[in-house]
Structure 1
Amino acid sequence: MRFDEIVIRTDRLDFPALAAGDGPVVVCWHGFPDHPASFGPLAERLVAAGRRVVAPFLRGHHPSTVDQLPFGDGLTLAADAAAVNAALSSEPLDVIGHDIGAGMAGRLAATRTDLVRRVVTMSVPPPAALSRIFADPAQQQRFFYLFMFQVPGVAEALLNDTLIEYLWRTWSPGLTVPDHVREMYADPAVRANALKLYRANFDRSLHDPALAHLAQVSEKPAEIPMLVLAGADDGCVTPENYAGAATALAPGSRVEVVAGGGHFLQLDRPDEVAALALDWFR
């Protein structure tokens, strides 16, 4: 897929993004360790169906924004997603979020219903269901990296190409790390920002106090129905962790387990994901 690189100017930050196609906009947010270009196969199918795909770089994950991550909490990222939607259109937009981007999309839907039309999330349960999966010791073991990233010095030493290759191979069997991902995380500043996002899960000094009031609604089920996709072969968050997800979603929402899909569903199963997303958007 050939993307154009654009800049989305918002009242929070100028967000570099990859864009392709014409028609109603679908905003796609990537996760860790990943890059907007990984939406390429999915974008190709959405563009062929008459949609415009805009895939921004997470704050702090592009050379122009590496020094623009004072806070790393989920509300900061959700506010970024809200600013992007508002800048792109005066009408609510469709959103797809993968991994960290899934949390962004879910919190955006919970906090700014006026900016969102339909939401698809991939590979992470909705925010209102996340706390439950930490009760599973096997899932805690799969999240070893999350806890390792809290240890200063150790995290910086071990977040390298070898670890990223291991995570991709473990999370989506059969996939190898794309060159664009390797190149992004070769930058020490990007790696430091990725660690900041994970440390913000536990370190409240990395939470923006100006957004604290949004926490009253951001972790509750969004009022907007969501399509939640899980990979049957996801080695990061396994399908059984979605068993109670429906209770954390608005009426009319759906949870689908994609057969043969790993964690990186946009690469593993672009045909199936595109078909599900386009049907959901209709």
Structure 2
Amino acid sequence: MRFEEIVIETDRLAFPALAAGDGPVVVCWHGFPDHPATFGPLAERLVAAGRRVVAPFLRGHHPATADRLPHGDGLTLAADAEAVARALSPDAGVDMIGHDIGAGMVGRVAAVWPERVRRAVTMAVPPPATLPAALRDPAQQRRFFYLWLFQVPDIAEAVLEADRGLVDFLWDTWSPGLDPGEHRDRVHALYGDPALLRNALRIYRANFDRGLHDPALAHHATRSEAPASIPLLVLAGADDGCIPPEFFTGAEAGLATGSAVRVIPGAGHFMQLDRPDEVARQVLDWFGS
């Protein structure tokens, strides 16, 4: 997929982004360890269906915003997604897709600012209502070893700055059998920048360190963790080695009426690369294209 790099000017930040196509906008938010270009195979199919795909870099994940991550909490990132949606479509909501960290962003936008969302899809991370069960499971705690490692100052930086071996391990175990091809080089280059790498760690540390939460957004905190008032499509990979599909079971009970949870056969965590045809089919059906 041939993207152009654009800058989305918002009242919060100027966000570098990859974009392609013409038509109604679909905003795609990436996660870790990832790069917006991995939406390429999915974007190719969405563009062919008459959509414009915009895949921004998370705050602090591009050299232009490397020094713009004073807070790394989920509400900060969700407020960024709301601002981008508002900049791209001031008078109506946009379709959104969020993968991994991006899934949390899209879910929180749908909960706090539903007017900015037309239709939303989250991928590879269960909604808040079912995620606690995963955190209590010992096998899942082991899969989340990287999350605990990232809380340790200096050690996490040393491990990740030494080489990208851990990044490769996460990709290999999260999407077994996937050859990322050129995407591996992109991801290595992104996290090979020490400033961007430390920003990614800051986001993970904000899960536990409230000193990294933006106090200006604190009044949204309770609402952001509640179920969204609009339906969501939640996609899980049948072979996901990060969060297996059993932790998505029953997720509909904590979502708005009309939501759907679907497991993609033959897909791992990076389902947009594992099964782009099937993911595109599910997404376009959900969007009503």
TM-score range, shorter chain: over 0.9
Among 209, 212, 216, the alignment partner of 2:222 is 216
RMSD (CA atoms): 0.8
Q: Is the 8 A contact 1:6 1:19 kept in 2?
A: yes
Q: Aligned residue for 1:86?
A: 86
Q: Within 5 Å, which residues of 2 pair with 1:120-159?
A: 120-159=121-160
Q: Aligned residue for 2:253?
A: 247
Query: What residue ranges of structure 1 are gaps of 5+ in the alignment?
Result: none
Among 165, 169, 177, the alignment partner of 1:166 is 169
| 1:6 corresponds to 2:6 | yes
Among 255, 263, 266, the alignment partner of 1:260 is 266
Among 178, 185, 190, the alignment partner of 1:184 is 190
* Separation (CA, whole Å) in 1 of partners of 2:227 and 2:145: 27
Q: Is the 8 A contact 2:130 2:247 kept in 1?
A: no
* 1:43-101 Cα deviation digits (max 9, x unpaired): 00000000000000000000000000000000000000000000001211000000000
* Separation (CA, whole Å) in 2 of partners of 1:82 and 1:186: 29
* Separation (CA, whole Å) in 2 of partners of 1:210 and 1:46: 36
* Separation (CA, whole Å) in 2 of partners of 1:33 and 1:128: 24
- Percent identity between the aligned chains? 71
Q: Within 5 Å, which residues of 2 pair with 1:46-61?
A: 46-61=46-61
Shift of 1:132: 2.3
Total equivalences in the alignment: 282
Give TM-score scaled by structure 2 length. 0.96
Query: What residue ranges of structure 2 are gaps of 5+ in the alignment?
Result: none
Q: Is the 8 A contact 1:18 1:55 kept in 2?
A: yes
- After TM superposition, what 4+ stretches of structure 1 lie above 4 angstroms from structure 2? none
Report the 3-state secondary structure (helix = DSSP H, G, I; strand = E; otherwise coil) of the residue aligned with 1:8.
strand
Q: Is the 8 A contact 1:73 1:206 kept in 2?
A: yes
Shift of 1:128: 3.2
Q: Is the 8 A contact 1:107 1:127 kept in 2?
A: no
What code does the residue aligned with 1:112 have? W
Q: Is the 8 A contact 1:27 1:53 kept in 2?
A: yes
What code does the residue aligned with 2:265 have? A
* Separation (CA, whole Å) in 2 of partners of 1:126 and 1:26: 21
